[in-house]
């Protein structure tokens, strides 16, 4: 796989910059991955469409020059100490769709500040968050926006992240644009929220019998 599935969730770390602003490296601080799932009920899902566009040789190795995935996150359990989230990925291939086996991630309510800082450094997202409205289907979601640029070897990577407290997992939209040393575009990844939903209500078996 050319892009890491964990990218979407990994970026959720950067959604709590203010939380760790004055903490010490050995201090435990709030975990954004936990924070953006903890207010939802088990069974809640968030579905994303991820598209990576390539140039050069990489372009010829994927259908239409694009690597496309559908990623579904499902909250399995939540308590005051941790959340458990299941991830299922379906990837477009030349002759069909490949669905990977679901994986489970456990996110504690607290993490070390040093770990949180390491993620901030990885994505280079700094500064004060701006506000912007993003339309998902028929819904308009008020988001906060962070952006940043990071040098990696001879390439420059620019990140933009839209996030909202109202969305399970926090992420509404994420983009990553990679340019080579000569400033030529080489790859662009866009992850967009398609839908999200709470758990389905259980059917009343007694009522079903009466209806029959």
Interstrand relation of 103-108 and 96-99 (parallel, antiparallel or unpaired): unpaired
128: left (phi over 0), alpha (psi -120 to 50) or beta: beta
For the whole prediction, is pTM greater than 0.85?
A: no
Q: What is the pLDDT along the chain (212 residues), one digit of tens a residue?
A: 444 444 555 455 455 444 444 445 578 999 999 999 999 999 999 999 999 998 776 676 677 778 899 999 999 999 999 999 999 999 988 889 999 999 999 999 999 998 888 887 777 766 678 899 999 888 999 999 988 888 877 888 899 999 999 999 999 999 999 888 776 767 899 999 999 999 877 665 555 544 44
Distant-in-sequence, close-in-space partners of 116: CB < 8 Å, separation ≥ 6: 13, 16, 19, 20, 29, 31, 32
How far, in Å, CA of 40 to CA of 33, rounded? 12
Q: Which residue in 66, 96, 95 sits closest to 2, CA to CA? A: 66
| The architecture CATH gives domain 7-195 | Beta Barrel (2.40)
Where exactly are the structural domains of the chain? 7-195
């Amino acid at each position: 796989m050319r892009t890491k599935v964990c990218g979407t969730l990994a970026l959720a770390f950067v959604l709590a910059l203010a939380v760790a602003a004055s903490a010490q490296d050995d201090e435990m601080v709030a975990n954004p991955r936990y924070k953006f799932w903890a207010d939802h009920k088990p069974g809640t899902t968030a579905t994303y469409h991820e598209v990576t566009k390539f140039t050069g040789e990489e372009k010829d190795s994927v259908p239409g020059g694009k690597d496309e995935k559908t990623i579904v996150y499902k909250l399995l359990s939540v308590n005051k100490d941790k959340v458990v989230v299941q991830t299922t990925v379906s990837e477009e291939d030349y002759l069909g769709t490949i669905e990977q086996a679901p994986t489970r991630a456990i996110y504690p309510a607290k993490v070390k500040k040093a770990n949180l800082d390491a993620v901030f450094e990885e994505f280079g997202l700094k500064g004060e968050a701006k506000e912007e409205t993003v339309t998902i289907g028929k819904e308009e979601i008020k988001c906060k926006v962070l952006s940043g640029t990071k040098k990696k070897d001879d390439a420059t990577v620019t990140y933009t992240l839209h996030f909202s407290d109202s969305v399970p997992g926090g992420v509404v939209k994420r983009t990553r644009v990679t340019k080579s040393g000569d400033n030529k575009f080489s790859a662009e990844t866009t992850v967009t929220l398609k839908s999200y939903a709470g758990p389905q209500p259980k059917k009343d078996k007694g009522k079903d019998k009466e209806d029959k």
